[in-house]
Amino acid sequence: DTGVSQNPRHKITKRGQNVTFRCDPISEHNRLYWYRQTLGQGPEFLTYFQNEAQLEKSRLLSDRFSAERPKGSFSTLEIQRTEQGDSAMYLCASSLASGVTGELFFGEGSRLTVL
């Protein structure tokens, strides 16, 4: 069990560019979540998948954000036309559908800085 892996760990980009983050969950976990954390705040829910199906999206997820989990394994989070307000830590977590409610296993996060 290698834990949840996120790449890249840090990304610096210019406003208007597109960025993509990847999350590899714990291998047997069928649920995958994306959260966003800004400085001094707790994580905010963005979206979650059960297998390849995206079952819930937050209103925080504007049309510039898209997430996929094509084969029910790894997931990508893409941000198009980045804005300075997108600067944040993007957290991925995974869990078992049959597991304990609320027991999420988090990765170390991908930090985005938009200049």
Partner 1 sequence: AQSVTQLGSHVSVSEGALVLLRCNYSSSVPPYLFWYVQYPNQGLQLLLKYTSAATLVKGINGFEAEFKKSETSFHLTKPSAHMSDAAEYFCAVSPFQGAQKLVFGQGTRLTINP
Q: Which residues bind partner 1 (CB under 8 A)?
A: 3-4, 31, 33, 40-45, 48, 55-56, 58, 91, 93, 100-109
Smallest distance, Å, CB 88 to partner 1? 14
Between 17 and 41, name the residue whose CB sits nearer to partner 1.
Answer: 41
Smallest distance, Å, CB 17 to partner 1? 26
Per-residue 3-state assignment (H helix, E strand, C coil) for 10-67: EEEECCCCCEEEEEECCCCCCEEEEEEECCCCCCEEEEEEECCEEEEECCCCCCCEEE
Between 28 and 103, name the residue whose CB sits nearer to partner 1.
Answer: 103
For 16, counting Cβ atoms within 10 Å of its Cβ (0-12 exposed, 13-18 middle, 19+ buried), the class is exposed
The CB density around residue 7, as the number of other CB atoms within 10 Å, is 13
Smallest distance, Å, CB 18 to partner 1? 25
Smallest distance, Å, CB 16 to partner 1? 30
Between 48 and 65, name the residue whose CB sits nearer to partner 1.
Answer: 48
Between 78 and 108, name the residue whose CB sits nearer to partner 1.
Answer: 108
